[in-house]
Amino acid sequence: MTDAVGILAFGGYVPRMRLQRSAVYANIGWFAPGLKGLAKGERAASNWDEDAITMAVEAARDCLGERDRADIARVVLASTTLPNADRLNAGVVKEALNLDDEVAAADAAGSLRAGTSALMASLEAAGSSDGPILCLAAERRKAAPGSESEMLHGDAAAAFLVGRGNVVARYLGGASVTADFVDHFRETGRDFDYFWETRWIRDEGYSKLVVKALKRALEKTGIAAEKVAHLVLPFVERGVSDGLAKKVGVAAEALADSLSANVGSAGAAHPGLLLAHRLEQAKPGDIAVVAGFGQGCDVLVFEVTDAILQREVSPTQGVSAWIARRKEETNYFKFLFFRDLVGLDTGARAEFDQKTMLTALYRDRKAVLGLVGGRCTKTGTVQFPKTEISVNPNDHAIRTQEDYPFAERKARVMTYTADSLTFTPDPPQYYGMIEFEGGGRMMAEIVDCDAADVAVGAPLRMVFRIKARDDKRGFTKYFWKAVPTA
Amino acid sequence: MAKGIKDKVAILGMGCAKFGERWNDSPDTLMVEAYEECLADAGIETSQIDAAWLAVAFDAVNVGPSGIPLSMALRLNDIGVTKVENYCASGTDALRGAVYAVASGAADIALAMGCEKLKDTGYGGLPVRTRGTSFDMIGIVGSAPGSFAQLASAYTAAHGVDAGDLKRAMAHVSVKSHANGVKNPKAHLRKAIDMDTVLNAPMIAEPLGLFDCCGVSDGAACAIVTTPEIARELGKADPVTIKAIQLCASNGWEMQFGEWDGSSVPNTRLAAARAYAEAGIRDPRAELDLIEVHDCFSITELVIMEDLGLSDAGRAPADILDGRYDRDGAIPCQLDGGLKCFGHPVGATGLRMVYEVYNQLQGRAGERQRATADFGLTHNLGGSPYNSVAAVAILGRQN
């Protein structure tokens, strides 16, 4: 089986905030009473400092675990909400993951099918690739306040490491159908999607294009529909997926949870998110089929292998763990503010010019984007950031430091405060001195937390987040922050 | 160790502008106000000044770059003027420059001026500023209260002090300084407050409430220094002399190495130890008659009492609540109201502290006069607890 091409590892990410749909309806129902039927459950909503890049990084870390990243040959990031139109988004992910410079990277975009198209292309390329391909998808969609999309969408990311070797799911093949079927669209530079009628989308889109692709893929791979153990369809509208499964002849119990009740549709990341979620319960020999929809349809067919039993996964890893880590949010206004859908008076302190000196960012990119510090080869002292002269007071060795990555190291709170004076979109701003296991310390922002989570000694993990946005020039500053883990 | 500067330099005169929200006064007006008093006290003319140092901590909204603003404001004699920026310790560092110039013999008479015009920003508190290109990419977005507030979390953890007890001791610090500020006509804030006001104030950065924080002010303060010999020639029979000035700039070990628990400011300890040695002070608790310390926040003053060796480890809250540092206590602290009430025009603050001690030593402190005043200490702190510039000066008489 070591020559098989397929999924070597998988993971995902769902942000902690879960906006209660009832809270949306409570605020918007006067205007859009038709949303009442959707006012149930919750949707995942990213924090103000998360975007497709940061969520992709989290999903990638979830996927990779403690696996050595040195052999990764390519990073692909699929999304319809990439923060940058012309700056390689996957390149930022590459830096955050501290991958070697000799790695290929590409963004994939254009439709909600981008995630499955990228996965398919990665699997097809994996056979002749120098090493595994990290295929990511992440989405942070904006929806007009009061729209169905606002209720149905969710923010999340998915990650797959694909390649040749001891795969957990062998890629059997797939099929694509392409047609300029415009169920919705969004022009470049616009915030919101424009939709056509649901009944047309269901009858002419899902029922014909998706079914065609599903049947073609099963036919190509020689898999009988009734053998499919896991059918992953990315639709969150009620009844759609059941109807499609029936049409194709796949058993109802094979249909993967659409996560519509607790996450919402994560766009281009949704098929991957659902697949990564479903694979958590897959058994060797299971056939898994995943579809992505957008101006046509991609269908990929996998066979789960014995390697699925040998996966080493921590209890905090995996889509299920991310779903379980949740914070209910009933403040609809806060959700809107975090997505720039409503303006607040941020005050004069927010006027600070956030210009990034690009020369310095490039020079310091390992420290800034990768959280790489230094380790003195003479004394063993570790520190952040890396400096010419060691901070060890007993031995100021010069130019003895080698790279020492801190991103995956656990940390603890040493000092902290909750600052109500400094500007942050989510006051108060928690920050403090944190100490890493194995040495090293830094002053760090503490996010995704409640007051009770922050105390001297509280355990933390590091996360890649937006540090600030330079609104004047349209540039996002990223850095690492700490999140309480207990 | 070097011989130090004990008694090599005397203060010939000092002046201090009224601190506060000086909406209609420019930096020039503030500097001239301090200088006029200083020059009259020194009994010299501008042409006798050989060199000058100007402390300004914030550039953007302020006095402006270089030594030229001082030279122009005072119409100095085209002498050498050095601009000093060393965070909130800039004022003491300017004095250090002037003192070193005189001690070296390079100058007979030197001037140190500190000035800050902070009420042109449009908002309260210190201006948001860059800390350098590289640092801005990895440093936290935070505020001064947030940086010092962390002392409280670490102090509570290190000494097992109840957070409520600590908060009450911190409140006492501010109540005491407000009581002292009432008696100081040059102070920014001259209103007494009670414990409940402090304890119930809005939170700025936990656990620091509004009254745990000093405000920011406009102001200027200056000193003219010379040798004790010249001072006597100019009519100062028993001049106030500099017993010590020590300044420590952190090399970053606190925030990058692992031997500090966050409950103290290590640089204050270093600067104090070096200053006590330079001044020949063996028992500061017995020898110091008054202290002016960098009470930017109540928790800072509390921690300083231990860092200066005046309270035992973990005992500062109790000593403070016992009144040890009150006006009538064993070692009165902030007789002039401190940063909390005299005000904090950053570049001027270190010189303002020296101004109070200088006046106390000469019995010129009016209503605030301490009966015995032979040795006074100033402590000026810049940066953050984990990456600081600490300056300690000790003043006394030559004999």
Chain A residues whose CB is inside 8 A of the B126 CB are none
- Same-domain status, B385 and B261: yes
Residues A106-128, mean pLDDT to the nearest whole number: 97
Over its C-alpha atoms, chain B yields an Rg (Å, rounded) of 19
Which of A304, A245, A252, A255 is closest to A280 using CA atoms?
A304
Q: CATH 3.40.47.10 spans which residues of chain A?
A: 5-338
Same-domain status, B166 and B294: yes
Domain of B290, in residue numbers? 144-211+242-397
Place of tokens 């190495």: B257
* Per-residue confidence (pLDDT) for residue B399, from 0 to 100: 67
Place of tokens 């920014």: B188
Q: Of A3, A162, A155, A142, which is closest to residue A76 (Cα–Cα)? A: A162
Per-residue tokens: A327: 């914070």
- In our burial notation (b when 16+ CB lie closer than 10 A, e otherwise), range A135-152 reads bbbbbbbbbebbbbbbbb
- Is the separation of the CB atoms in A445 and A276 below 8 Å? no
The string over B127-166, giving b where at least 16 C-beta atoms fall within 10 Å of a residue's C-beta and e elsewhere, is: bbeeeeebebbbbbbbbbbbbbbbbbbbbbbbbebeeeeb
Task: List active site positions of B.
Answer: 88, 344
Please give the model's pTM, rounded to 2 decimal places: 0.96
Going by the DSSP 8-state scheme, the letter that residue A349 receives in this structure is G
| Per-residue exposure over B347-357, b if at least 16 CB sit within 10 Å of its own CB, e if not | bbbbbbbbbbb
User: Contact A415/B154, CB-based, under 8 Å?
Assistant: yes
Which residue in A170, A161, A163, A162 sits closest to A60, CA to CA? A161
- Using CA atoms, how far residue A401 sits from A98, A407, A410, in Å, is 17, 17, 21
d(C-alpha A384, C-alpha A400), whole Å: 14
Domain with CATH 2.40.50 in chain A: 348-371+406-484
Whole-number Cα distances in Å, B141 to A417, A424, A468, B133, B300 = 12, 8, 9, 14, 20
d(CA A109, CA A106): 10
Residue of B nearest to A469 (CA): B137
SS3 content of chain A, % helix, strand, coil (to 5): 30, 30, 40
Report the C-alpha gap between B19 and B398 in whole angstroms. Answer: 31
Q: A23 - beta bridge partners?
A: none
Pairwise CB contact (< 8 Å): A423 & B157: no
Q: For residue B132, is it within any domain?
A: no
Query: In B, which residues are within 8 Å of A384 by CB distance?
Result: 256
The verdict on a CB contact (< 8 Å) between B204 and A435 is no
Which pLDDT score is estimated for A1?
47
List, in sequence order, every residue forming a beta bridge with A161; answer none if it has no partner.
A9, A134
In the sheet that holds A287-293, the strands lie side by side as: A104-108, A74-78, A133-139, A156-164, A5-13, A169-178, A296-304, A287-293, A228-232
Phi first, then psi: what are they for A146, rounded to 5°? Answer: 90, 5
- Alpha-carbon gap, residue B339 to B398, rounded angstroms: 28
**How confident is the model over A311-355, as pLDDT tens digits?**
988 888 999 999 999 999 999 999 999 999 999 998 888 888 999
Q: Do B99 and B168 share a domain, yes or no?
A: no
Q: How many domains does chain B have?
A: 2
| Residue B106 per-residue DSSP state | S
In a domain, residue B1? The reply is no
Domain A5-338 in CATH 3.30.1360.10: no
Amino acid at site A109: A
Residue A475 has pLDDT above 70, yes or no: yes
**Chain A within 8 Å of B156 (Cβ-Cβ)?**
yes
Q: Which pLDDT does position A349 carry in this prediction?
A: 85
Nearest to residue B275, comparing CAs of B131, B394, B366? B394
Whether B188 and B230 map to the same domain: the answer is no
Pairing of strands A287-293, A228-232: parallel
DSSP per-residue string spanning A111-127: STTHHHHHHHHHHHHHT
B contact test, residue of A394, A417, A478, A479 with most B CBs within 10 A: A417
* Average pLDDT of the residues of chain A: 96
- Please check whether residue B231 lies inside any domain of the structure: yes
User: Which residues, 6+ apart, have CB-to-CB distance to A261 below 8 Å?
Assistant: A40, A41, A42
> Does residue A83 have a cis peptide bond before it, meaning omega lies within 30 degrees of 0?
no
The span from the CA of B150 to the CA of A426, in Å, is: 19
CA distance A163 to A160: 10
If asked whether residues B89 and B206 sit together in one domain, one would say: no
Tell me which residues of chain A, numbers 445 to 484, contact chain B at a CB-CB cutoff of 8 Å.
Answer: 445, 455-457, 467-468, 477, 479
Taking only residues 111 to 130 of chain B, the set having a beta carbon closer than 8 angstroms to any beta carbon of chain A reads: 121-123, 125, 128
Answer yes or no: do B205 and B232 share one domain. no
Residues B279, B304: one domain? Answer: yes
Q: Which H helix or E strand runs over A275?
A: helix A270-279
Residue B189 and residue B52 share a domain? no
The sheet carrying A401-405 orders its strands as A382-383, A372-376, A401-405
| A402-419: b (≥16 Cβ within 10 Å) or e | eebbbbebebbbbbbbbb
Residue B137 lies in a domain: no
- pLDDT per position as a tens digit, A36-73: 999 999 999 999 999 999 999 999 999 999 999 999 99
Give the pLDDT score at A2: 67
Q: For the beta carbon of residue B286, count every other beta carbon within 10 angstroms.
A: 11
In a domain, B52, yes or no: yes
Q: Which residue of A has its CA nearest to B122?
A: A348
Q: For chain B, say whether A189 makes contact (Cβ under 8 Å).
A: no
- Which CA distances in Å does B86 have to A326, B196, B225, B246, B386? 45, 36, 21, 13, 15
Domain membership of residue B131 (yes or no) is no
B254 and B332 assigned to the same domain: yes
Contacts of A455 in chain B (CB under 8 A): 153
Q: How far apart are CA B10 and CA B238, in angstroms?
A: 9
Q: Which of B202, B237, B272 is a domain's end point?
A: B237
Check which CATH number belongs to the domain holding B308 and give it.
3.40.47.10
Task: Decide if B298 touches A, using CB distance below 8 A.
Answer: no
In a domain, B2, yes or no: no
Name which of A246, A313, A256, A247 is nearest A287 in CA terms: A256
d(CA A351, CA A328): 31
In a 10 Å sphere around its CB, with 0-12 CB exposed, 13-18 middle and 19+ buried, how is residue A301 labelled? buried
Q: Within chain B, how many helices (H) and strands (E) appear?
A: 15, 11
What count of other Cβ atoms lies within 10 Å of the Cβ of residue A185? 12
Task: Check residue A322 and give left, alpha or beta (phi > 0: left; psi -120 to 50: alpha).
Answer: alpha
Do both B259 and B232 map to the same domain? no
**Where in B57-205 does DSSP place strands (E)?**
80-84, 109-116, 203-205
Location of structure tokens 């769902």: A14
Examine the pLDDT at A74 and tell me if it is beyond 70: yes
pLDDT at residue number B107: 98
CA pair distance A9, A162, nearest whole angstrom: 7
Whether B362 and B324 share a structural domain = yes
What integer pLDDT is reported at residue B60 of this predicted model?
53
Helix (H) or strand (E) holding B352: helix B346-361
Q: How much of chain A exceeds pLDDT 90, in percent? A: 94
Q: Which CATH fold would you assign to the domain A348-371+406-484?
A: OB fold (Dihydrolipoamide Acetyltransferase, E2P) (2.40.50)
pLDDT the model gives residue B61: 62
Has residue B3 been placed in a domain?
A: no
Q: Which helix (H) or strand (E) holds A244?
A: helix A240-248
Q: Which H or E run contains B272?
A: helix B266-279
Strands in A4-155 per DSSP E: 5-13, 17-20, 42-45, 74-78, 104-108, 133-139
Scanning the structure block, which residue is given the tokens 């006290």? B41
Q: How far apart are CA B53 and CA B96, in angstroms?
A: 9
**Chain B residue with minimal CA distance to A381?**
B257
Which among A100, A72, A132 is positioned nearest to A366, based on CA atoms? A100
Per-residue pLDDT of chain B (399 residues; tens, 9 = 90+): 688 999 999 999 999 999 999 999 999 999 999 999 999 999 999 999 999 999 999 975 678 899 999 999 999 999 999 999 999 999 999 999 999 999 999 999 999 999 999 999 888 888 888 888 999 999 988 899 999 999 999 999 999 999 999 999 999 999 999 999 999 999 999 999 999 999 999 999 999 999 999 989 999 999 999 999 999 999 999 999 999 999 999 999 999 987 899 999 999 999 999 999 999 999 999 999 999 999 999 999 999 999 999 999 999 999 999 999 999 999 999 999 999 999 999 999 999 999 999 999 999 999 999 998 999 999 999 999 999 999 999 999 986
Regarding whether B200 and B91 lie in a shared domain, the answer is no
Nearest to A159 by CA among A138, A129, A132: A138
- Which among B15, B65, B46, B55 is positioned nearest to B110, based on CA atoms? B46
**What is the per-residue pLDDT across B37-95, written as a single tens digit (0 to 9) for each?**
999 999 999 999 999 999 999 975 678 899 999 999 999 999 999 999 999 999 999 99
Distance (Å, whole) CA B113 – CA A127: 73
| CA proximity to B14, closest of B390, B389, B355 | B355
Residue A348 has a pLDDT of 87
| A311 HSE (CA, 13 A, CB side) | 28
Query: Residue B186's closest CA among B19, B348, B63, B298?
Result: B19
A-proximal residues of B, 42-81, CB under 8 Å = none
Using CB atoms, pick whichever of B140, B252, B253 lies closest to residue A444: B140
